Each structure stands twice: as C-alpha cells, then as structure tokens.
Structure 1
Amino acid sequence: MIKNFPRIAALTCAALVATAPLTTTAAAAATPARGALVKAEQSARMTSGEVNAFLGKAGFPAIENAKGVDVYSVSYRTVDVKGRPTTATGSLVLPQTSAHDLRVVSYSHGTMADRRAAPSVASTGEGRLLPVYFAAHGFAAAAADYLGLGEGPGAHPYMHTATEAGASVDFLKAARTLAQQHQVTLDKRIMVTGFSQGGHAAMALGAALQKDRDLDVSAIAPISGPFDVEHAEFPAAVDGGLDGRSAAFYLAYWLTSMDRVYDIYDEPSEAFRPPYDAKVTDLLDGGHDQESIAAGLPSTLEELLTPAYLGKLGKPTGRLLKAIRENDTTCRDLRAGAPVRLFAATGDRDVVPANSASCLKDLQARHVDATLTEVGDGNHFASLRLSLPKVLAWFQQRSGAAVG
C-alpha cells in the first residue's frame, strides 16, 4: 500500500540506459510446468555510475562500490485464483559481477493499481528502484509483478494470499532458468522482503518456500505489511485511524478485487454509493494511472461506501468474512526455521503498526525467531526509506557479504 500515490511512482531517471531487446524463449511443452520460463527480454543495462545516479534521483545515498546491473523482463507459467494455467510477469535484476553463484533477494512490491507500474514494465518507481538497489549490492534481485499486473492477463487479485505466494515462487523458478542461460547459479535459500502489500506477500512467500521441493527461505524482512485486516486495518479504516483518501482507495481496490474471487456483494451498489457504484470496478481494472484513480475516488470512506456496507466492515460476516480470514493467514502459516524481522513506523496512517504487532504475536506463538523494529514516527513511505538499510545489512550478514 502506498500513501496517496506517493512521489516514488512518478520519479524519472535519465540515467537509465535501455538496450535493444534480447529475447529468449523456452521450449513449449504439452502441459507447461509452473515456473517454466516463457520468454525474457533485457530491458536495461546500467553501469555502476548510472545505478547511483538513478537511485540518487529517488533520494538514495550513493553506494560505495556499487555494481552495474542488467535488468530482464520475464514472462512465466503460473496458475490463477482457481488453479487454472496462466502466465505472469516479473523483473530479474542481475549484478554485473564475475561471480557465478549469487544469493537472491525476492522483493515484493507495494500496492499498484496501474499494471504499467509493475516491476517488469516500469522504468522508474518502486518496481524498478528496489530491485536495482539490492542488485547494486551484489544480490540477484527478483521482483514478481503478481497476477494481472505488468503483462499478465486479467485483473489483479489484490491481497489474495495464495496467488501472491504462488506467482512469486513460480517467478523465482523461472528466474533460475534465465540466470542459468547467463552462466549464473542462483542460491536456493531465498531472502525475502517487501513493502506494504509486499510485506503481506513476503510473509506469504516465506511460508510457501518452506513447503517447496526446490527452494527454501533463509530470512524474511517485511516492511509495513497489512497482515491483520480483520483486527487492525479495517477497524482503523472504519474508526478514522487511516488517512481518509488512502482508506477510500485501499478499500475500493480490496473490495472490487475480492468480489471477483469471493462474490462479496451482489451488485456494486450494495457496497458503493453513487456515483462510485457505476464506475469503481472499471476504474480499478488495471488500465488507469494513479492520477486518474485518485481523481475518480472520494476523500473519505464515508463518501465511498453505503452506510450498510460500512457497518459490515466493522462486523463482517458471510462471504466478506471468508475473504478476510482466508487472506489474513500469512503470519500464522510460517513455521519455525526462518527468522523474521518486521519493520513498521508508528506514524503510519496507511497500514497501521498494529498490523505488525499482531503479526509478531502470531509468529512468536509459533516459536518463530521474530522481532519488530519501530523505525520512528514517520509515515508509510518513510517506513520503507528508514527500514531498507536495516534490511540490507541483515541480509548481508546472513549471506556473509560485506556491507556496502
């Protein structure tokens, strides 16, 4: 989740050097396996100086001994919310290094309602910045778009735990195939992080990796994730604990997405007041940019939702409750073995810090090595900026790499 469509999504970078597309295509199979590589295209190549210039425009400090990076847009096989075969996309960023064996950081991005902001297609913004940041420090950085974003077909099932995890695991497998084509072996012990919706996705991915035959997870570091919609996020939205415009955006996105999966209302007018009932589904179809979405939604939840549905959010039942509880499991699905470092900001009014406190409680109840670091009284985006150096340092310590 990203507060009021923050400036990071609009950042430009003259230092980004696009290259001519280099495309590889995996051999087709009668029944393609999940995680099979469909195609990969090199979308950018940046020297170390260009990397620092690119990150510097977004306010990142210069990285001493930064690596140059090669950026690949990847299409691969996965499954949709009903388990049917589909494709999804993501971005793999490889450091320019003589090393042939690389540790992997999987970065799960925050809320994106515009499919063109996703890692595989964006040239700026969070989807490009964060994978480049980790690759510049010598990691192979994998960033799945999730279903329905980037070049993936259909609508994005926002905050749907099973497909956040499934698409991310499958992308890591496709990334391994692509890396091998470039004589690089990716370590199977994945370090996982993510911001906002990506914090939720990172926890889901960590649990899925523990069950996978081919991959494993060695560290999980979610930043400001909405882990407890039922007991933390929705109550804050209803009681005014969230920024009004942010609450309207997140709830509109969540409700329209979950309705496609769980049929949580019979007609949009059951949940949304006019004129939003007639336009909200189309507005959040993945084809509108952030500015259009912001202009098309109200500044408060009370303006967006009918009084009856607003009341249901406070006391959910039926299909609405099922949608909430089936996707509120990320911190209860992880088992002991992979350490977790949670990060949150006390001033966050997009994803209230009670989400991370609830997650910590669930993890400790399962005897997971877990801590929660409060990074200050900053807002939602500040939590990412303040947490990243701590996440990086921990990952470097876990991988035996030198900081910087």
Structure 2
Amino acid sequence: MKRVSRILVVSAVSAALTAGSATAVVAQGSDAPAAAVVAPVGTQVSRGTVVSVEHLRTLTARQAAAELTGDEAGAWDTGAVRYGLDTFRIVYRTVDPYGRPTTASGLLALPRSGERRLRAVSFTHGTELFKGDVASVSAEVWDQAPALTYASAGFAAVLPDYLGMGLGPGPQAWMDVPSETTAALDMLRASRTVAARKGRELRHGVLVTGFSQGASAALGLARSLQEGADGWFRLRGVAPVSGAYAFRDAALPALLAGRTDPKASVIYTALFLVAFNRLHHLYDTPAQVFRAPYDRTIEGLLDGTHTGQEVVAGTPDSLDALLTVRGRAMLAHPAGRLAAALRVTDGVCTDWVPRAPVRLYYADGDEQAVNANTAYCHAALRAHGVDAPLVDLGTPDYGGSRHLGSQQAATAAVVRWFRTLR
C-alpha cells in the first residue's frame, strides 16, 4: 500500500512516503500457521529471555529480491542476495530507562543458507512515530529491507523495535541511548535463544549498524559489547549511518537555525522535548515550552498511537508557531538536566575508544541529519586515535529525501563491507 507523509527516521519527513498501518506481517509460504512459543507465566526470567516467538514469513531468494526491487519509492540493491530466509517476531524481557523489568519486541531474520553457525548483524532503525511502523509489525519494504538484505546475504539479521515500539508497552524513550542499548543487547540475547531452537548458533562476533536515531543506538550497543556487557557476544565491526551524534553542537543548532527541512524540524523538536521531559523533567507544563493550541495536544499526539500522517497534520509548519520563547531558549542554551542528558546522548562518539573496525556513512547535503553530526563524530574518534573512515554516499534519493536515501545506499554498502569482516 502506498504511504503518504510518514516520518521514518530521526531526521525525516517525506511527503512521498506514507501514513503507516498497524497491519501485522503474516506468514507467507510456510506450511503451517504462525505459532507463538510463550514463556510460562510466573517463571523467574532474566534480561533477554524470550516471552514469545512467532514465525512470520518464509521467502525464497527470488522473492526477497523481488520485494527489494518492488519498492515504489526506489529499488533496493539486490547484489548481495544469495539465500532465502525466515523471519520471526520476538517478544523478550528487558528493562526500562529506570532499570525496571519490561518487555520489548523485534524481528529476527535467518538465512536458508544451510550454515549452522551464523554471524549476527544488529540493525537499529531510525525514528518512527507510530508503534506499528517497525520491522516486527510492518510489511512495508522500508521497514523490511535491512532484514531482507542482511539475511539473504547469509547473516542473522537482528532488528530491535526499541522500548514502546512494536509490541512494547508505553511510550518510546526516543534518543535515550542507554535504554536503546539495553533493548538492542537483550534482543541479541533473545535472538540467540530462538536461533538455537532452530538448530542454529549465533557466533560471538556481532556486526553492528543503524540509521539516523539508530546510528546513535548502534554506537551505544557497540560500546556495550566492547565493554563486555554480555558473556557471549563481542563487537566485530560497527557502521553507523547518518546519525545525530552531536545533538547539542550540531543537530539542535541546525534545527533552530532553519538549516533542516522545516516540517521535520518541528516534529523532531516536539518529539525531543516530549520524550526528554518524560525522562528528565525539563518542564512542569507543556504550555511552558509549546504555544497554544499545541500545548494541549502535542504530548498525546506523540504517544505512539498516531500515524506519521496524523502527526504531520497536527503540528505547525514552523518552530516559531510551535515554541514559546522559553522553549526556544531551552534548546538554544541547554542547561541543568537537559545539558546532562545531552552529554549522555552525545557521548556515543566521545566517551569510548572503539577497538573494532568503524566506518561512518553519510549523504552529501543531508536535509535532516546535517553533515556536521558526522564530522563531529569523526573528529572525536580521531582525537582518540581511532581510524574511522568516512564513507560518502553521494546524493542518494528515496522518495525525495537524501536522508532516507542514505539508508538505502548504505544498506548496500555496509553489507558488502560486513562480508569482508566475517
């Protein structure tokens, strides 16, 4: 189904893409209906424990290639397609931003390669506003393409939905790198369990990538793996794409100065304030930072139950119409709790020294995640003695967006690089 006006990423509004649907992916090509395996109620479980697993689809290599090339917004590269694959929706145990037990969901795609031991690729997605616009729920090619690309190339593709997205309870903890990291790590653990039930083994070394919001999440997961957060998995390589790595010094100034797509700027600014207020208490009432009438509607509009199309329709076209003087000043000169939160968000490039190979992918003139973000990350890593090559993707286009185009172009480039690291 053609989409209209959907925000897909930390940085992306595209009127050529569409409003999401909550329609779940159904099993295709399997001999039996999708079945769930559920953990017994009341059992003592730990992080990464599988709550349920449901087989969604079986695709041949030809079917996977046809799906990738059939995207109305632009065909995906199929040069790495070798195998058919199976996809599974997993619900698993994890923790919320306060360390309390909760659940999250994600998609696992396993290649029909005949190989028993598989290298895992963790892909963390860009910003989604609607809970159903994630790979474990949505059938859209945009959401499925990374899983299809990596699995058909022979990898186990592991795609966490993040907290509050997919089948996860509550609102999403947007750009909260610590909880994105725990959700991604616990999805890897759950995927290892599910793979073992299918007679497969996920190898120790994990290849980590992510786009836009997911680029920061990928670096958070990479750091966690390198620091030994899991007894089995280790970092093998990391390839973030078009991230907002420097929220304080690059992303926010670009939004406020009008150097990004105007409508995207409005929605990301609103999402930023609402999400960070939930975790860090930046304001007492919405009216302190949002102008009327949006002060009465914006928090409800961004609760995950509204489609991108609804959010586009329910927000103004300029930051001046959205923000109060206090709201703009808060973003222009972060202090107190906000400054502390941004130090954590922006620490993905500054507070560790990767020992595994790193490549930073970006598109020239990205209209959503300005290139200053990537330059900032590259400089920070180089200051630590890390050689992190910049990979210029040129000016790719997906539905009229270079930012979205960078995910499509990078997926083809990253899978080729990852195959050299296996």
Query: TM-score band (shorter)?
Result: over 0.9
Query: Are the structure 2 counterparts of residues 373 and 364 from structure 1 closer, same or farther at C-alpha, using a change threshold of 3 Å?
Result: same
1:271 is aligned, of 265, 284, 289, to 289
Higher relative contact order (CA 8 A, sep 6+): 2
Tell me the equivalent position of 2:254: 236
* Structure with higher helix content: 1
Q: Normalising to structure 2: TM-score of the pair?
A: 0.90
| 2:367 matches 1:349 | yes
Taking a change above 3 Å as real, the CA distance of residues 71 and 193 of structure 1, as seen in their structure-2 partners, is: same
CA distances 1:58-90 after superposition (whole Å, capped 9, x unpaired): 211444653111010000110001000111000
In 2, the alpha carbon distance for the partners of 1:204 and 1:152 equals: 20
Query: AA paired with 2:349?
Result: C
Picking from 52, 57, 63, the partner of 1:50 is 63
My pick for the range that moved more, 23-32 or 110-119, is 23-32
* Residue from 50, 54, 75 that aligns with 1:37: 50
Asked if structure 1 preserves the Cα contact closer than 8 Å seen for 2:80 and 2:149, the reply is: no
Among 8, 14, 17, the alignment partner of 2:28 is 17
- After superposing the two structures, state which structure 1 stretch, 231-240 or 211-220, moved more: 211-220
Gaps of at least 5 residues in structure 2 are 1-9, 397-401
Q: Indicate if the aligned counterparts of 2:132 and 2:138 stay in contact, CA closer than 8 A.
A: yes
- The residue identity in structure 2 corresponding to 1:4 is V
Give the whole-Å Cα distance in 1 for the aligned partners of 2:207 and 2:80. Answer: 22
Partner Cα distance (1:388, 1:8) in 2: 19
Aligned mates of 2:395, 2:77 — CA distance in 1: 21
What fraction of aligned residue pairs are identical, expressed as a percent?
35
Q: CA deviation at 1:8?
A: 5.6
Query: 2:139 matched to which residue of 1?
Result: 123
Aligned letter for 1:210?
Q
Per-residue displacement from partner, 1:331-389 (whole Å, max 9, x unpaired)?
A: 12432311110011121121101111111111122222311122224521122222222
In structure 1, distance between residues paired with 2:408 and 2:376: 22
Mapped partners of 2:306, 2:141: distance in 1:
16
**For 2:13, which of 4, 10, 26 is the aligned residue?**
4
**Contact 2:20–2:133 (Cα < 8 Å) also in 1:** no
Identify the residue that residue 207 of structure 1 maps to in structure 2. 223
Distance 1:284 1:84, change over 3 A: same
Aligned counterparts, 1:1-400, within 5 A: 1-5=10-14, 7=16, 17=28, 19=30, 20-27=33-40, 30-58=43-71, 59-63=75-79, 66-211=82-227, 212=229, 213-378=231-396, 379-399=402-422
Closer, same or farther: CA 5–288 of 1 in aligned 2, 3 Å: farther
The CA deviation at 1:273 is: 0.7
- The CA deviation at 1:2 is 4.6
* Pairwise CA RMSD: 2.1
Give the C-alpha shift of residue 127 in structure 1: 2.6
AA matched with 1:393: R
Residue-pair matches, total: 399
2:279 aligned counterpart, secondary structure: helix
Between the aligned partners of 1:291 and 1:254, the Cα distance in structure 2 is: 18
**In structure 2, distance between residues paired with 1:151 and 1:112:** 14
Asked whether the 8 Å contact 1:169–1:205 carries over to 2, the reply is yes
Aligned partner letter, 1:208: S
- Pair 309,124 (structure 1): closer, same or farther in 2 beyond 3 Å: same
- Residues 38 and 240 (structure 1 numbering): CA distance in 2 closer, same or farther, change over 3 Å? same
Mapped to 2, the partners of 1:6 and 1:337 lie a distance apart of: 40
Using the alignment, how far apart are the partners of 1:326 and 1:57 within structure 2? 40
Shift in CA distance, 188/252, structure 1 to aligned 2, threshold 3 Å: same
One-letter amino acid of the structure 1 residue matched with residue 28 of structure 2 = V
- TM-aligned CA deviation for residue 248 of structure 1: 0.5
State the AA in 2 paired with 1:366: H
8 A Cα contact 2:83 2:111, kept in partner: yes
TM-score scaled to structure 1, two decimals?
Answer: 0.94
Unmatched 5+ residue regions in structure 1?
Answer: 400-404
Deviation at 1:312, TM superposition (A): 2.0
**41-50 vs 80-89, which moves further:** 41-50
Report how far residue 11 of structure 1 moved.
9.3
